[in-house]
Chain A
Amino acid sequence: MVKKRLPDWLNSPMWSSPTVTTSPPPKSRSLSPPPPPPSSSNDDRYGIGSYPSKSSSVTSSDSSLNEPHVPLPPPTSIKQEPTPKTRIRDSSTRSVNSDNDVSSSIEDVSRQAQLLEEIINIGELRQLCLLGIPDAAGIRSTVWKLLLAYLPTDKGLWSSELAKKRAQYKQFKENLLMNPTSFSMILNVSVASQSEITRTFEVSASLKNGDLSEGKGLLERSKIPHGEHPLSLGKTSIWNQFFQDSEIIEQIDRDVKRTHPDIPFFSGDSASSKANQESLKNILIIFAKLNPGIRYVQGMNELLAPLFYVFRNDPNEDSLVNAEADTFFCFVELISGFRDNFCQQLDNSIVGIRSTISRLSQLLKQHDEELWRHLEVNPQFYAFRWITLLLTQEFNFSDSLHIWDALLSDPEGPQETLLRVCCAMLILVRRRLLAGDFTANLKLLQSYPSTNVSQLLYLSNKLRSC
């Protein structure tokens, strides 16, 4: 379907004014009577008791949905619940979107309702999150965990699943982050005494060589199991692996220190930022060790940062403490979708980054041929960073969290959504691109101007199978 002209809605005056209407999701929800408040953080700030009456306001706005020029939901439906609405309006101010409080609050409510249910309908949750999750609600962490399939949809299973996963992470940490010296001490004990392996040697009955303070004579020599000595060049030697890994560990260390230097959460001298950096490093090291195929590639730290930030800022105490373990598994899930981008050998193949970039090009051609023809800039110059880092470097941190909401929640999958968002980014600045030449366009695209993110998400949603 080749378009000679832009569709009318793209040219509408809507884009020039700050108010953008976000259409409430088309599906009508049936809000069941609220169950008792769960143990997790989704507290009843929103007034659980008022849910049944909200359903009427929601369904009434459903009808006015189908055209893009959706006016704000009729004020009458909102006046029914003045008190809770004002509370919601106060608490859900999004930095970008202060005009949309009214319509977005309906979504907040329905999201809360979703999360409160015992069995969460993932499809509905995805629909709700397509245009972003409100910052103030503190539910982003839980929602992302659900979207990344870390938490099962059945709420009853949450605590057992979480306990299992966290224990697994602890195991990984113990096995993989261990120092070869301590490992060889364990070997020593098992060889010497055949008793249960312990790490504390203060009792040291097994150390036949004893302390420095007693007796004299030749020190006893003992055999080394499996040729494990520090200079060993054997492939299976833990020392050799340790030294090989130390290169990667150094690189990870350097990259973590450079992540988001402007955000105090990640950088700076405070104890908390050091602890955060330590956690980021641990996650990346364990990931590199468990995946010898892709190891660590520069840029993974950028993908990890938003995940860790969101989980670490979870109002739920339990989640906050275990943020590292949760982030690890969600990171694995996230990367698995984009694995092929990081593998250098696959660069030119059909699943590699080159072909993804050409798909973006095709998408642009499909939606906006005029721009596609005009744009001489090879998409590799700008799209590479957009795609591999999931747009974390193009927008400020809070905006990129919103974009990730959309990326993670889209049922089509993050890869497809990402291409649509990139396409939307190009279309949004089309006027400047059409007016500019190669150099100006290249400059513009490599430092993408800040823009209204919900506008962007709305547009990318529109581009879906258009």
Chain B
Amino acid sequence: MVLVLAIGDLHIPHRAPDLPAKFKSMLVPGKIQHIICTGNLCIKEVHDYLKSLCPSLHITRGEYDEDARYPETKTLTIGQFKLGLCHGHQVVPWGDLDSLAMLQRQLDVDILVSGHTHQFKAYKHEAGVVINPGSATGAYSSITYDVNPSFVLMDIDGLRVVVYVYELIDGEVKVDKIDFKKTSTATI
């Protein structure tokens, strides 16, 4: 029962001052085992804050990140699942399912987490699942100003994943969940 937080596109301090208070009150250290971050934090202080929530922190580089040392893509294995991480500005057209599927096949992962569009999406296709956690601060994106703050928490348990989607809509935190599982025979 591994809890993995997928978060990104905070754009602190350029486009947003901080995480929404309701999100911050929920994110306490000790509950989460891994954090995967799509990028665009942008400064070291945010990195340190995420590190305090969980020591296992994985970040990929977004185009506004001040730390140039983050990799462009990253893959990691948690339980039975292979996860891939990429910011998403490299994949053109931005947010396009087929192009992201191509990236997923390239990285050879079951779950691809990417961002940049600042919109939560969860797609399924033959090669796997693509999850976009959206923007945790609700910062405006290159595409739109109308952004709801959101992030994603995945509960990986054996061959199942339960994805909890946290969104801040009209000042209230709304949580939904998505279930999927991987068949062990799938050649993913």
Chain A contacts to B: CB under 8 angstroms: 179-182, 184-185, 188, 201, 204, 207, 209-224, 227, 229-233, 243
Q: In the docked arrangement, what's the CA distance between A217 and B176, Å?
A: 18
Residues of B within 8 A of A229 (CB): 153, 164, 166, 175, 177
Size range of the interface on B? 35 or more
Contact assessment for A217 and B124 in the assembled complex, using a CB-CB cutoff below 8 Å: yes
Say yes or no: A212 contacts B25, CB within 8 Å.
no
Would you call B124 and A233 a contact (CB within 8 A)?
no
Q: Are B26 and A201 in contact (CB-based, < 8 A)?
A: no
Q: Which of B30, B160, B175 contacts A224 (CB 8 A)?
A: B175
On whether the beta carbons of A212 and B166 are closer than 8 Å, the reply is: no
In the assembled complex, the Cα of A233 lies from the Cα of B27 at a distance in Å of 10
Can you list 15 pairs linking A and B with CB atoms under 8 Å apart? A181-B160, A185-B160, A188-B179, A207-B180, A207-B181, A209-B124, A209-B178, A212-B188, A213-B126, A216-B125, A219-B180, A224-B175, A227-B175, A229-B153, A229-B164
* C-alpha gap A185/B159 in the complex (Å): 13
Total contacts A to B, CB within 8 angstroms? 106
**Contact between B124 and A216, CB atoms less than 8 A apart:** yes
Complex: how many Å from CA A391 to CA B62? 64
| Distance between Cα atoms of A212 and B153 in the complex (Å) | 19
Contacts of B97 in A (CB 8 A): 216
Contact of B31 among A201, A220, A222, A230 (CB under 8 A): A230
Min CB distance A448 to B, Å, is 41
Interface 1/0 per residue, B146-165 and A, CB below 8 Å: 00000001010100101111
| Cα A350 to Cα B8 with chains together (Å) | 58
CB of B179 within 8 A of CB of A211, answer no
Given contacts A229-B153, A231-B27, contact A201 B177 (CB under 8 A): no
Do B31 and A209 touch across chains, with their CB atoms under 8 A apart? no
- B26 CB, nearest partner CB in chain A, Å: 4
Q: Is the CB of B176 within 8 A of A222?
A: yes
Which residues of A lie under 8 Å from residue B30 when comparing CB positions?
243
Most buried by A among B110, B121, B180: B180
A233 adjacent to B181 (CB under 8 Å): no
Q: Knowing A227-B175, A231-B27, say if A211 contacts B186 (CB, 8 Å).
A: yes
Chain B residues numbered 1-22 whose CB sits less than 8 Å from any CB in chain A:
1, 3
- Seen from chain B, the residues whose Cβ lies within 8 Å of a Cβ on chain A are 1, 3, 25-28, 30-31, 97, 110, 121-126, 128-129, 153, 155, 157, 160, 162-166, 175-183, 186, 188
Complex contacts, A179 vs chain B, CB 8 Å: 1, 157
Further contacts, 20 of them, CB under 8 A, given A201-B160, A211-B186: A181-B157, A185-B160, A188-B179, A207-B181, A212-B188, A213-B183, A213-B186, A213-B188, A214-B126, A215-B126, A218-B122, A219-B123, A219-B180, A221-B177, A221-B178, A230-B31, A230-B153, A231-B164, A232-B26, A243-B30
Residue of A nearest to B97 (CB): A216
Known: A201-B181, A218-B123, A219-B124. A184 touches B162 (CB 8 A): yes
- Whole-angstrom CA separation of A215 from B123 in the bound complex: 11
B181 touching A204, Cβ below 8 Å: yes
Q: How far is the CA of A402 from the CA of B178 in the complex (A)?
A: 58
Interface contact A231-B157, CB-CB below 8 Å: no
A185→B155 CA distance, assembly (Å): 12
B122 near A231: Cβ-Cβ < 8 Å: no
Asked if B164 and A230 sit within 8 Å, CB to CB, the answer is: yes
Within 8 Å by CB of A211, from B123, B165, B175, B182, lies B182
Instruction: Specify which chain B residues have a CB less than 8 angstroms from the CB of A185 in the assembled complex.
Output: 160, 162
Q: How far is the CB of B180 from chain A (nearest CB, A)?
A: 5
Check A215 against B1 for contact (C-beta < 8 Å). Answer: no
| With A181-B157, A219-B123, A229-B166: A211-B1 Cβ-Cβ less than 8 Å | no
Closest Cβ of chain B to A214, distance in Å, is 8
Contact between A233 and B186, CB atoms less than 8 A apart: no
Alpha-carbon gap, A36 to B73, bound state (A): 77
How many Å lie between the Cα of A201 and that of B125 in the bound state?
22
